[in-house]
Amino acid sequence: MSDTAVLSTSARPDRAGAAPRVGDTALTARLAALDLPAGGFSAPARRDAAARLNEMGLPGPRDEYWRYTDPAPFNAPRPEALAIPPREATLFDDIDRLKLVFVDGVFDAAASDDLTGEGLEIDTLAAADAGGDHWAGALYGQLETAGQNPVRRPFAALNTLAARDGVLIRATGRVARPVHLLYRRSDEAADVHLHHVIRLEQGAELTLLETGAMGARSNAVLEVDLAAGARFHHIASKRADDDKLGIGHIFARVGEGALLKSFALAVNGRVMRNEGVIEITGDDAVAHIAAAVLGDGDEGRFHHDDTVFITHAGQRCESRQVYKKVLKNGAQGIFQGKILVRPGAQKTDGYQISKGLLLDEGSQFLAKPELEIYADDVKCSHGSTTGALDETALFYLRSRGVPREQAVVLLVLSFLADTLEEIEDERLRDGILTRLDQWLTSRATG
């Protein structure tokens, strides 16, 4: 018998790099359609991003992380023109807040409040880039880069390369007034890239609110760096007339004893993809990310994709992912979530729940809740359920004299309730709840 091994020992190519990619011509065309800024303090980060993007290419239809969402509309050089929605009162109008307005992705100083606040240092990316060195230089594009491994996120690299504006916030203490980023549109074909960087120093606390329509197509990156004991609250709300085609990213690094809570509400839209990449680096930290999604396909396509990746590197940390999607009229809801527990991240408590409520035939909920665990003393669980409204509960309510439409509204609200739990501020939570209730009731009766 031969003594040659059946299996040779040659190393296999790197898996992450082996994913399929679309032709370079698509990327060239995509970049040619953009007016790329040279950048000031951010210039080195932009150069790196260009190299990263060239190496990764744009995602192809067979890319595993684009399994359920066709990347084609994001790969196209230009977005289709989209009518400008009428201006409505925003969710947070009656709250004492620091308002920053971005029109077509460009800061509008006249419409915004003064960029000053107690314990707060705020600049816009465009203004900071026109000047010299900036504290954000150490962060801009850095958390995005860290979030590229093991899953590549080409549109985030594209954003770092192409973003002209955004907000750079550094907080050193507890900031009482929430910072509200309000997006507006004036150009029907604006292809918007916004890049925000937030740094909370030790023990600082900040609430960030986001509402409105960014552009005909939007690509946003929010980089959040939390030092020890910092607390960051984030609430984003999208309405039916807001962005129709958008990709949003959150890249967060959560330090020792720090807390991050992010909640997103999406009511309609068209094709939305949200990527949340959170790395818990310190011990005893907490990260919660949640979304309530209401999708109705009757105004055209509704496709909402949440792709979340939480990495536990610290000990005794807690993470929660809570995603609820109510789908109707051929709407598609996607959830791809992952908890990665690194070796040594003992006493991790990871929890992930994704639920789809299908209100009629033709709607779909597609989920891929993943766990990857390399430490033994951990508690990780995930659950995912999909189904229709509970007929028994509906019958109970109707037998108590609640009209069917109202009963449906009640059940949908109760279905979404535990995502709202992730909003700590009661006023904000009640505001969202009222908005949801109004929206559901108006549609149920209208």
Q: Which stretch binds other proteins (CB under 8 A): 4-12, 53-61, 211-219, 427-435?
A: 4-12
Task: Map the footprint of other proteins across residues 367-386, applying CB under 8 A.
Answer: 367-386
Kindly state whether residue 364 participates in binding other proteins, applying the rule CB under 8 A.
yes
Bridge partner list, 209:
180, 235
Based on its alpha-carbon atoms, the radius of gyration of the chain, rounded to whole angstroms, reads 22
Contact (CB, 8 A) for 58 and 26 = yes
DSSP state of 173: S
Instruction: Indicate which single residue of 23, 61, 150, 387 sits in contact with other proteins (rule: CB under 8 A).
Output: 387
Residue 198 CA to residue 209 CA, distance in Å, equals 13
- Could you tell me the smallest distance in angstroms from the CB atom of residue 323 to other proteins? 12
Is the separation of the CB atoms in 303 and 334 below 8 Å? yes
Kindly tell me which of 76 and 380 has the beta carbon lying closer to other proteins.
380
392 touches other proteins by CB under 8 A: no
- 169 close to 88: Cβ distance less than 8 angstroms: no
Distance in angstroms (rounded) separating the CA atoms of residues 427 and 169: 24
Q: Which of 189, 388, 393, 417 binds other proteins (CB under 8 A)?
A: 388
Instruction: State the SS3 of 387-401.
Output: ECCCHHHHHHHHHCC
- Tell me how far, at minimum, the Cβ of 187 lies from other proteins, in Å: 38
* One of 87, 362, 395, 398 touching other proteins (CB under 8 A): 362
Applying CB under 8 A, which of residues 245, 358, 428, 432 lies at the interface with other proteins? 358
Specify which residues 350 forms β-bridges with: 319, 380
Residue number, 87 or 379, with CB nearest to other proteins = 379
Parallel, antiparallel or unpaired: strands 120-124 and 179-184: unpaired
From 105, 229, 356, 431, residue interacting with other proteins (rule: CB under 8 A): 356
Collapse the DSSP code of 393 into the 3-class scheme (helix H, G, I; strand E, B; otherwise coil) and give the result. Answer: helix
Distance, CA of 253 to chain centre: 14
Per-residue binding letters, 18-37, with other proteins (x by CB under 8 A)? x-------------------
* Site map 310..349 versus other proteins, x via CB under 8 A: ---------------------------------xx-x---
Prior bond to 13 cis, omega within 30?
no
Minimum gap (Å) between residue 152 Cβ and other proteins: 15
Burial class (CB in 10 A: 0-12, 13-18, 19+), 333: buried
Spatial separation of the C-alpha atoms in residues 194 and 248, rounded to whole Å: 9
Number of residues assigned to the chain = 446
Distance between CA atoms of residues 29 and 241, nearest Å = 29
Binding mask 38-77 for other proteins (x = CB under 8 A): --------------------------x-------------
CB 350 to other proteins: min, Å: 8
Size of site (CB under 8 A) for other proteins? 49
CA distance 299 to 78: 22
**Smallest distance, other proteins to C-beta of residue 406, A:** 21
Binding to other proteins (CB under 8 A): which residues in 181-210?
none
Least distance CB 266 / other proteins (angstroms)? 19
Residues forming the site for other proteins (CB under 8 A): 1-2, 4-12, 15, 18, 64, 343-344, 346, 356, 358-388
